[in-house]
Amino acid sequence: MPKRGRNRKKTRTHVVQDDSNVGGVSALTSAESLKVPRSLVVRRGRTEPEVVELVSDIRKLMSPHTALNFKEDARNRKATLSHYAKELTSPLGITHLLALSQNSSNLNMRIARTPSGPTLTFKINQFSLSKQIRSVQRRPFQHDNKSASSTFLKAPIVVTNNFGDAKDAAPHLKLMRITFQNMFPAINVATVKLNDCRRVVLFNLVNNVDKAKKAEDGDVVKDKKEGGSDTLATNNTFEEVEVRHYAIRATPVGIDRKVRRLVQAKIPNLSKLNDISDYIMGQTSSGNVAPSATPTNGGGAAMSDSEPEDETSQVILPQKYSGKGNIKSQKSGLKLVELGPRLRLHLLKVERGLANGDVMYHSYVTKSTTEIISQKNRIVEEALLKKRRRDEQDDNVKRKNRAQEEKRDRKRGKRLEREKEVMDTLRGGLKEGEEDGSESGKDEASNDESNSDGQD
C-alpha cells in the first residue's frame, strides 16, 4: 500500500546562541551564581537519632543554598572531608562543608572551606532542636514551605556580635567571624528587597567568666551537657559561640487589635453580633458592652496589648513587607521569633588545609615560636625524607623491571637460537635424504638398462 500524505514539517523553533551575546547576560548570571556560597551538611560515623534531627535543622538554617534532602551512603559514613570535596565540589559547586561526628564523650562539628581550607573544629557543648523550641513557645512561628513567600526560600541575614574590633581582635576570632559571614550570601543594602529579609542568624561570642576563674584555680569544670565527663580547665579563656535562628514577624501598629485581626484575614465569630461595628466597639446584640471589649479612643486608634511597647522596634516600612497590613510608608512593629536550632560551640582548633596541614590555632595546646619553627622544620625534613625514599623505591623498581626485561630478552634469544639450530638440522637431513634418493634412482635406472640389454 503506498504511503499517503506528505512528510512531517517541523514547526518547533530553536534558539540559536548569538556570538555577540557571549559574555553578556548569561555570563553575568553564571558569574553571580558562582559567588553564592553553597553548603553541604553531613554526618560521619555512627550517631544518635537526635544528631540526625540536628543535621536536618542545620540544613534548614542554611537553606536555600544547601542540600536539604542529601542522604549519606552507609558505606561512606567514614569518608573524609577530602573525599566529599573531591566528589562534590566541582559538579555541585560546594563551597563549605559542615560535618558532624560523635564519639563516646563529645559531639564535634567541623566547618571546612573547599577546596583548600581552612578547617575549623568545634565542640558542641549544648544544642536544642527546633521541635523542642517550638514546644515551649506560646505562639510559635507558622510557615508554609510550599508557598512562593516561604520563609526558607531566601537566605537569612547574618549578625555577628561581640567578636571584637576588626583590628584588635585575635586572629582566630577574625577567622571565625569571616567564616560565619562567608557561609551565607552577602546582602547588597542598595538593591535588597525588604520582602527578602525573612530570617536572622545570630552568632554571639560569649566569654564564660566563671569557668575562667575556676580554671585559674585549677578546679575541675563539668560540661553542662548531660553525661559529659569532667575536664580540667587549663586555659584562661573559655570562648563559646552561641548560634540562634530567628524569623522576623511584622505587625501593623497604631490600629485596634480587632481591626488588625480583620486586616490579617483572621475572621472572628460574628454570630452574636448585628453588625461589624458591634465587634469593633465591643458591643453585643443587646447593646451592652462586652466584658472582653477593649476601650478605644477615636474609633479604634488605641494601642493593643499585643503590640510592642518599645518604640525602637517600630519602624516605617520603605517597602511592602510580608503579612497583611504591612504596607509601604506605614508603621509596623518588628518582632523576632526563634525557629531553632540553638547551638553552643567551642572552638578547638584551626587547620590550614582541608582537615589536614599545620595547626594555626589550638584551644588547649600552646606552643612558642621556637617550637613552631622546629616543628615545621621537622615536617619539612620528614617530607623530604619520604620523597627521597619514594624516589629510591621508584629507582629500585625500575632497575628490577629493567633486569627482568634483560633476562626475558636473553631467554628469548637463546630460545630463538635453539629453534634455529633445530630447523637447520632438519633442513640438513632433508637435503641428505634427497641426495640419497637421487643416487638410488640412478642405480635403478642403470640396472633396468642392463636387464634390457641382456634380454636382447
pLDDT at 422 over 50: yes
Assess whether 81 and 183 both reside in one domain: yes
Look up cell 543535621; give the residue: 55
Tens digit of pLDDT for each residue in 307-331? 444 555 777 777 777 766 677 777 7
Same domain, yes or no: 354 and 271: no
Residues 31 and 69 both lie in one domain? yes
pLDDT band at 256 (very low <50, low <70, confident <90, very high): low
Q: Is residue 130 part of a domain?
A: yes
Domain that holds residue 184: 26-252+315-366
What is the helix (H) or strand (E) element at residue 281, kind and residue range?
helix 276-281
Shared domain for 85 and 68, answered yes or no, is yes
Q: Are both 219 and 358 inside the same structural domain?
A: yes
**Domain annotation covers residue 33:** yes
Q: Do 212 and 322 belong together in one domain?
A: yes
Instruction: Tell whether 134 is covered by a domain.
Output: yes
At residue 253, the pLDDT reads 76
Pair 51, 178 in one domain: yes
73 or 205, higher pLDDT: 205
Q: Does the structure show a pLDDT above 50 at 28?
A: no
Domain membership of residue 388 (yes or no) is: no
Mark whether 321 and 361 lie in a shared domain: yes
Which of 350, 366, 382 represents a domain boundary (last residue)?
366
Asked whether 250 and 321 are in contact (CB, 8 A), the reply is yes
Task: Look at residue 453 and tell me whether its pLDDT is greater than 70.
Answer: no
Dist CA 260 CA 271 (whole Å):
19
Four-point Cα dihedral 88, 96, 118, 109, nearest 10: -110
Does a structural domain hold residue 132?
yes
Q: Is residue 201 part of a domain?
A: yes
In terms of pTM, does the model score above 0.75? no
d(CA 382, CA 400): 27
User: Among the listed ranges 186-200, 219-233, 258-272, which one has the minimum average pLDDT value?
Assistant: 219-233
Q: Which of 307, 329, 350 is the last residue of a domain?
A: 307
* CATH assignment of the domain containing 131: 3.40.50.10480
Question: Same domain for 267 and 328?
Answer: no
Q: Name, in order, each residue with C-beta under 8 angstroms of 143's C-beta and a sequence gap of 6 or more.
A: 150, 151, 152, 247
Same domain, 284 and 175: no
- b/e map of 102-117 (b: 16 or more CB within 10 Å)? beeebbbbbbbbbeeb
Whether residues 258 and 246 fall in one domain: no
Q: What is the dihedral of CA 61, 67, 69, 71, to 10 degrees?
A: -120
Residue 285 lies in a domain: yes
Which of 4-8, 85-89, 207-211, 390-394 ranks highest by mean pLDDT? Answer: 390-394
Total count of domains within the chain: 2
Looking at the fold, whether 277 and 163 belong to one and the same domain comes out as no
